[in-house]
Amino acid sequence: MAASGEGASLASAAGGEDGRRRRVSYFYEPSIGDYYYGQGHPMKPHRIRMAHSLVVHYGLHRLLELSRPYPASDADIRRFHSDDYVAFLASATGNPALLDARAVKRFNVGEDCPVFDGLFPFCQASAGGSIGAAVKLNRGDADITVNWAGGLHHAKKGEASGFCYVNDIVLAILELLKFHRRVLYVDIDVHHGDGVEEAFFTTNRVMTCSFHKYGDFFPGTGHITDVGAGEGKHYALNVPLSDGIDDDTFRDLFQCIIKKTAVAVGVEPDNKLPYNDYYEYFGPDYNLHIQPRSVENLNSTKDLENIKSMILDHLSKIEHVPSTQFHDRPSDPEAPEQEEEDMDKRPPQRSRLWSGGAYESDTEDPDNMKTETNDLSASSVMKDESNDDS
């Protein structure tokens, strides 16, 4: 870790006691942009590579610890997903003629969630980054971790949904629960975070909070009265919104419920994009911020006040500390045995599925990228109940 003022240690956006240097760890798998859902499909992993290019050309990578994640193993993924579903994903091929029609229906793969070449390695890369990010936090090696290849919040225990196959968020939360009594999950995607909410609907160790568009809109779940069940009652918070909500209204609603927000790196990038490998994609204005469209805000002040009131009422019914006791901590994920590779060597040709080395491009910055093990030998011990809550 670099000394103060350089490297991967960043100043907090807040002042006072929170004005210390924050250590930010950024996970990126160079091959992630090579996977392809198919022609015309709205899910495009290539956008992750485009985002990484912007991170590098803004110079933000020099303020981060850049790590290349190990792929999640079958055993890692089975910590949440069912054995038969994981076995299907691991064996699935992009050739539709080789797929079992009954399995296709059972596991909900098809048009929205196609079986494409390299599906399982894609899932392993996405999940590996999020699990590795959680391990970093558990070990105290970072204050903030980032994995732009993650966030696949619709995947269910035994089926794909909404372009998502493996729920990396659930796997990361399960990793965090090895060391922390409670986890707060906040989802600000336009779609309801149904897969994560469903996974923790009956536990009081994880609070899920989703801000999303609600109504005739995928996945159609996330009503404000959906608050969890059993021990998890009031630990699922849903903030259903209508079209057209503006920045100020959303910010006010968010801060009212979450209480405190923070900017990870404490850097405000210039609105004019730096020239990068994908510059032409951002025309015609080539700006970082998108100009908002003129859309009527269908969220009335009365509706928003009702949402605030109901959410705060749910929060008032939560016990101060969940009635949970620690048990033996599950073992840490194990890093696979891999041959050492030359990160500076360019692969002989660029194919759909990346062949193993870092691209010879400024976007990869191989000198600052290291492979991150998810294992990370379990030298740390479980916090006991006398420690502070997380």
Binding residues, by number, are 189, 191
Give the CA distances from residue 357 to residues 89, 150, 205, in Å, rounded to whole numbers and listed in that order: 25, 22, 40
- SS3 at position 186: strand
Place of tokens 């998108």: 290
User: Of 60, 69, 67, nearest to 267 (Cα)?
Assistant: 60
Is residue 154 annotated as part of the catalytic site, yes or no?
A: yes
Catalytic one of 154, 192, 212, 314: 154
Annotated binding residues for a divalent metal cation, as ranges? 189, 191
How many other C-beta atoms lie within 10 A of the C-beta of residue 61?
21
* CB-count burial class (<10 Å; 0-12, 13-18, 19+) for 151: middle
In the beta sheet, which residues pair with residue 27?
A: 67, 147
CA distance 28 to 358: 11
User: Of 184, 309, 297, 199, nearest to 250 (Cα)?
Assistant: 297
> Which residues participate in catalysis according to the annotation?
154
